[in-house]
């Protein structure tokens, strides 16, 4: 089979590889569409051991084989899955590997393109919102019963968009959404009747902070989901988050000029980093959360209240990965998930 390997730069090369085998608890998926994420270019630059590996983690396709102990899925099932990051068997290939607990069914009405836009980013949203050591907000099946302001920084990103959809399902309002040129996309997701609003970051940091305060209308801000975690977002959150009881989660670890920015707050302020790879860790709570929410995504897709981030199919299949990662790196991507149809890859084969 054909496999794409990502190096720092980003630079993408190709190699022939054997079809992977399913170990106990695993599934081998015949990939129809693979999705991309910003981490696909970042990880090879951050981690030397990951430089020159298959970085694809979003899989959509059909079950090809199941390992020992897998009873939920059968060959031919339409599925999407979150591949275990930095491990062999990534989705930038004709066949990919996933664990059964991070695999979920795709309804017939859900395209493989939409399925490939979901796994990593949607689960990042769920872990950050609901894990007890992150924001620990009410689950959708036990929704909030009182106004619960939530700041969503980077609302038009894939993670931010999934945060909005899940938070709405949990009756979390008002949603204060920080966004830029993709506000039309965010507008389609929020509920103005519940007080949800958009703050334009392009007006500058002072305007952002004031816009958030105006949206709160005197209420305390206890929850913030930072789907950006750079370019001033942590500093702005520090100016509005309640100093006595706030909880904030970031998608990147503290670094540079904002490391320690929250030290002035009382110890009761809870800061966390949401690392989606925790659903593949030994942490039983996060593994179970991943299992439950991936299946909940299937329910949301079937019922229509959960949708994938808009997709752009990049031409030439796997040969389009480098151009997509370049666009993710230079910041030209906005409110879109780049996906690749394996069948469009020249010379692809089993």
Helix spans in the chain (H): 39-46, 112-116, 119-130, 158-169, 183-187, 205-216, 233-238, 284-303, 321-330
Phi, psi (degrees; rounded to nearest 5) at 341: -85, 120
Q: Is 336 helix (H, G, I), strand (E, B) or coil?
A: coil
Phi, psi (degrees; rounded to nearest 5) at 242: -60, 125
Biggest CA-to-CA distance, the chain: 61
Determine the pLDDT at residue 253. 84
> CB of 251 within 8 A of CB of 226?
yes
Calpha distance 53→326 (Å, rounded): 17
Global confidence as pTM: 0.95
Determine the pLDDT at residue 267. 59
**Could you state, in chain order, the average pLDDT of each consecutive group of 10 residues for the chain (350 residues)?**
95 96 98 97 93 97 98 98 97 98 98 98 98 98 98 97 98 97 96 98 96 96 96 91 93 72 65 95 96 98 98 97 96 92 82
Every domain of the chain and the residues it spans: 2-120+282-344, 135-273
Determine the pLDDT at residue 257. 59
CATH number assigned to the domain covering 135-273: 3.40.50.720
Calpha distance 10→92 (Å, rounded): 14
Write out the two tokens for 188: 């389609």
Calpha distance 49→337 (Å, rounded): 26
Determine the pLDDT at residue 75. 98
Calpha distance 91→89 (Å, rounded): 7
2-120+282-344: CATH superfamily: Medium-chain alcohol dehydrogenases, catalytic domain (3.90.180.10)
Calpha distance 212→176 (Å, rounded): 7
Determine the pLDDT at residue 350. 46
> CB of 68 within 8 A of CB of 79?
no
299: exposed, middle or buried (Cβ count in 10 Å: 0-12, 13-18, 19+): middle
As a whole number of Å, the end-to-end CA separation of the chain is 5
Determine the pLDDT at residue 196. 98
Determine the pLDDT at residue 331. 86
Phi, psi (degrees; rounded to nearest 5) at 43: -60, -45
Half-sphere exposure at residue 244, Cβ-oriented, CA atoms within 13 angstroms: 1
Q: Are strands 197-200 and 11-16 parallel, antiparallel or unpaired?
A: unpaired
Calpha distance 66→75 (Å, rounded): 7
């Amino acid at each position: 089979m054909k496999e794409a390997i990502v190096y720092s730069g980003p630079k993408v090369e190709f190699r022939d590889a054997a079809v992977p085998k399913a170990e106990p608890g695993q599934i081998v998926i015949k990939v129809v569409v693979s999705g991309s994420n910003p981490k696909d270019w970042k990880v090879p630059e951050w981690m030397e051991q990951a430089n020159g590996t298959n970085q694809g983690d979003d899989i959509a396709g059909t079950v090809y084989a199941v390992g020992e102990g897998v009873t939920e899925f059968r060959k031919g099932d339409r599925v999407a899955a979150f591949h275990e990051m930095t491990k062999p068997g990534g989705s930038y290939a004709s066949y990919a590997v996933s664990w059964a607990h991070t695999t979920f069914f795709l309804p017939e009405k859900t395209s493989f393109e939409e399925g490939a836009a979901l796994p990593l980013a949607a689960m990042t949203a769920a872990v950050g919102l609901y894990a007890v050591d992150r924001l620990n907000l009410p689950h959708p099946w036990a929704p909030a019963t009182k106004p619960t302001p939530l700041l969503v920084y980077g609302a038009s990103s894939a993670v931010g968009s999934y945060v909005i959809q899940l938070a709405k399902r949990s009756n979390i309002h008002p949603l204060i959404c920080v966004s830029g040129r993709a506000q039309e996309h965010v507008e389609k997701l929020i509920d103005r009747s519940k007080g949800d609003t958009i703050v334009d970051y392009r007006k500058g940091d002072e305007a952002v902070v004031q816009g958030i305060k105006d949206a709160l209308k005197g209420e305390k801000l206890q929850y913030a989901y930072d789907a950006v975690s750079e370019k001033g977002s942590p500093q702005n959150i520090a100016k509005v988050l309640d100093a006595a009881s706030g909880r904030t989660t970031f998608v990147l670890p503290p670094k540079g000029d904002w490391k320690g920015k929250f030290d002035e707050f009382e110890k009761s302020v809870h800061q966390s980093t949401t690392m989606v790879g925790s659903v593949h860790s030994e942490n039983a709570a996060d593994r179970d959360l991943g299992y439950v929410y991936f299946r909940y995504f299937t329910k949301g897709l079937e019922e229509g209240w959960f949708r994938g981030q808009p997709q752009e199919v990049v031409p030439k299949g796997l040969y389009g990965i480098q151009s997509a990662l370049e666009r993710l790196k230079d910041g030209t991507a906005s409110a879109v998930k780049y996906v690749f149809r394996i069948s469009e890859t020249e010379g692809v084969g089993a």
